[in-house]
Structure 1
Amino acid sequence: MNIIWLLTVVLGLGIIYLFSARRYQSSDSVANAYDEWTQDGILEFYWGEHIHLGHYGTPPKPKDFRAAKVDFVHEMVRWGGLEKLPRGASVLDVGCGIGGSSRILARDYGFNVTGITISPEQVKRAQELTAPEIPAKFQVDDAMNLSFPDASFDVVWCIEAGPHMPDKAVFAKELLRVLKPGGVLVVADWNQRDSRKQPLVLWERWVMRQLLDQWAHPKFASIEGFAELLQATALTQGAVTTSDWTQETLPAWLDSIWQGIIRPKGLISFGLPGFIKSLREVPTLLLMRLAFGVGLCRFGMFRAVRA
C-alpha cells in the first residue's frame, strides 16, 4: 500500500512538473521568469551573485560552489585574452543577470562595464548590489536588438544567454555589430550536440524538450553551428576560436542541488512556497547533469575578433 501511495505521489509530481513548464513564448516570457526569481530572492540565495556555472579546474576538483563561479569569470578573462587590455576598456555584458560578472570585470580589471538584461528586476537588483565606486552600470535591453550603435565597445562578453535567443543568426550579428574594429567577443554558452553529425534519438529529444520548455529556452545551438553563424556575419577577423568546457563546469549541476541541502536556512527564509518552487527545479538540474554528462549537451566557449 505504501508503494502504491509513493508511486501515486511521484506520478502526480511528474504531471505537475510537465504541465507547469515555463515554455518560451517571447522575450516577455524570459523577462517574466527572471523577474519572478529576482523578486523572491531564491536564486540569489542559492546561486549567489553569479547566475552561471562554476569552473572547477582542469581536471575538475572539489571546490566551493560560489568560489567556482568567481573562478569561472577569471578563467574566461584569461581564455579570451582580456587581461591584456588596458584599464578603462569598454565592455558590454550581454545577459548580465544581477551583475556578478560585471562587477568583477569592473573592480578587478578596471573595465568600464555596461550590463544589459531583459529583466527590469535584475537591473534593479544589479544596481542595488553595485557600489558607486565600481565602474559598472546596468540597463534593460534586448540582445536580439541592441540599442547601441555600431562599434560601441572594446569587448562584448556573454555567459549562458544564448539558449534564450530565438534566432541565433541575429544574435550572433548583434554581438559583433556593437564591437569596435579589433574588439573581442567572448561567449560562454550551453550547447547541444551537433545533430547534423549525430542525430538525436528518441530519449535525447525528450530530454532536450524538457531543457527547453522548463527554463524558457526556444532552442540550443551547437558549438559548431554557432561558430559558423559568427563566421557567416562576415564581421570576424580570421577564424572563430572555440573550446569545450563541459568537464570543467560539470560539477556545478549537482553542486547547485547540494546547496539546498547544506543551506536549510532557505526553507526558513522562503517558507513552504519557496521550498516547493526550489524543489521543482531539481528534475531540470538532474536532466542538465545527465545531458552534459553523456555528451548530449556541451559547454561551449567562443572567441572572435571584429574585423
Structure 2
Amino acid sequence: MTVFLVLTILLVLVAVGVTSYLLTARRYRSADTVASSYDQWTSDGILEFYWGDHIHLGHYGDPPRRKDFLRAKADFVHEMVRWGRLDQLPKGTTVLDVGCGIGGSSRILARDYGFSVLGVTISPQQVERAQQLTPPDLDARFQVDDAMALSFPDGSFDVVWSIEAGPHMPDKAVFAKELLRVLKPGGILVAADWNQRDDRQRPLTGWEPLVMRQLLDQWSHPAFASIEGFAEHLEATGLVAGSVETADWTQATLPSWLDSIWQGIVRPQGLIKFGPSGLVKSLREVPTLLLMRLAFGSGLCRFGMFRAVRAQR
C-alpha cells in the first residue's frame, strides 16, 4: 500500500467523521433526548468497548503521568472517595449514585468499600446493562430515575455521589437542591463535573462561545455550570452545613480526552467487532473529543469537585 493510498484513506475517514459530526448533532431538547442518547450509546456497545464500564474521565495524578486508560478510570473513583473522605465511613453506608451510567463506580463503591449502593440514571438501557454487569451478591442496585425530580423521600441516604451528570441538567439550582434533599442530616454529597470557566469573572470571547456551543449540542448538554456557580447553588439551598468544599481536577483528568481517541488506534479489533457503521460512529465523536481537550486545556472548561455536608435540620 503506497503512502498516497494511506493518506487518501485517512482523509476519507476524516471527512466521513466530520460530516457525520456536523449532520447528527444531539442537541438537548428535554430529558428524553438525554435518555435516548445514552440508550443508543449503551445498546450499540461501542462506548463500553473503548471506555469500559466507567463512563467518566480517568485520574492520571497531579502532575499527570502515563497510565492505562481503564486503570485511570478506576483510580478516579478511589481518588474521589479519598477526597470526599468517604473512606472514613463504615460498611453498610447507603449511597445514591446519581447518573450512574452502567454502574462502574457503583460496583467499586459496593465491592471495595462495603457500601450499599443504589444507582440511578434516566436511561433504561443503562439500567439493564448495569444489572447485567453486577454480580448478584454485590450490594448495588439500579433503577431509572430523574435527577431533576428524584423519587426518594427527604433524608434517604448517607451519601449522594455523582460524576459528570450536571451538564445534562437544565436547571442547576433544582439539581443542587435534589442532591441535598435526599441526604440524611449530616450526610455527605460528593460530586464531580465538567464546568465552564466562570464568565462573570472573565466573559467568553472570540472562538470560545463557538466551541462551547458545539460541546453543548453534540452530547445533549443544556449548559455547563461554573465551579463557583454550582457551589453557590448548593449553598443557596440552605441545606449545607458550613460552606461547600471545591477543587479543580482539570490537570489530573486532562489526558483522558486524547487517550480516549488513542484507544481506537491501539484497539483495532473494534473495527472487526462493530464493522463500518461502528467506525463511522466512532469517528463521529473525534471532533467533540478534540474540542473537549482544547476547552479543558485552554481554561475555557474546568473539572470541578464538590463536597458538602447536609445541615442538621
TM-score over 0.5 (shorter chain): yes
Q: Structure 1 CA distance, aligned partners of 2:154 and 2:308?
A: 16
Per the alignment, residue 300 of structure 2 pairs with: 296
Distance 1:206-1:87 versus aligned 2 partners, 3 A rule = same
**Offset from partner CA, 1:75-124 (integer Å, 9 cap, x none):** 00000000000100000000000000000000000000000000000000
Residue among 274, 287, 297 paired with 1:283: 287
Percent of aligned pairs with the same amino acid: 75
Per the alignment, residue 81 of structure 1 pairs with: 85
Note if 1:230 corresponds to 2:234.
Answer: yes
Residues 164 and 194 of structure 2 are in contact (CA less than 8 Å); yes or no, is this contact kept in structure 1? yes
Q: How many residues align?
A: 306
Letter in 1 for 2:201: K
**Offset from partner CA, 1:258-305 (integer Å, 9 cap, x none):** 000000010000000001000100000000000000000000000000
Letter in 2 for 1:217: H
Letter in 2 for 1:300: G
Q: Structure 2 CA distance, aligned partners of 1:9 and 1:89?
A: 49
Residue 58 of structure 1, CA deviation: 1.6
Q: Structure 2 CA distance, aligned partners of 1:256 and 1:12?
A: 19
Residues 16 and 280 of structure 2 are in contact (CA less than 8 Å); yes or no, is this contact kept in structure 1? no
Q: Structure 2 CA distance, aligned partners of 1:65 and 1:14?
A: 25
Residue among 263, 267, 274 paired with 2:271: 267
Letter in 2 for 1:108: D
Residue among 71, 90, 94 paired with 2:94: 90
Note if 1:206 corresponds to 2:210.
Answer: yes
Distance 1:8-1:224 versus aligned 2 partners, 3 A rule = same
Give RMSD over aligned pairs.
1.8
Residue 41 of structure 1, CA deviation: 0.5
TM-score of the pair, normalised by structure 2? 0.95
TM-score of the pair, normalised by structure 1? 0.96
* Structure 2, unpaired ranges of 5+: none
**Offset from partner CA, 1:9-51 (integer Å, 9 cap, x none):** 9677645422310000100000000001111100000000100
Residue among 241, 245, 248 paired with 1:241: 245
Moved over 3 A (4+): 6-16
Distance 1:182-1:167 versus aligned 2 partners, 3 A rule = same
Matched residue SS, 2:152: coil
Q: Which is bigger in relative contact order (C-alpha 8 A, separation at least 6)?
A: 2
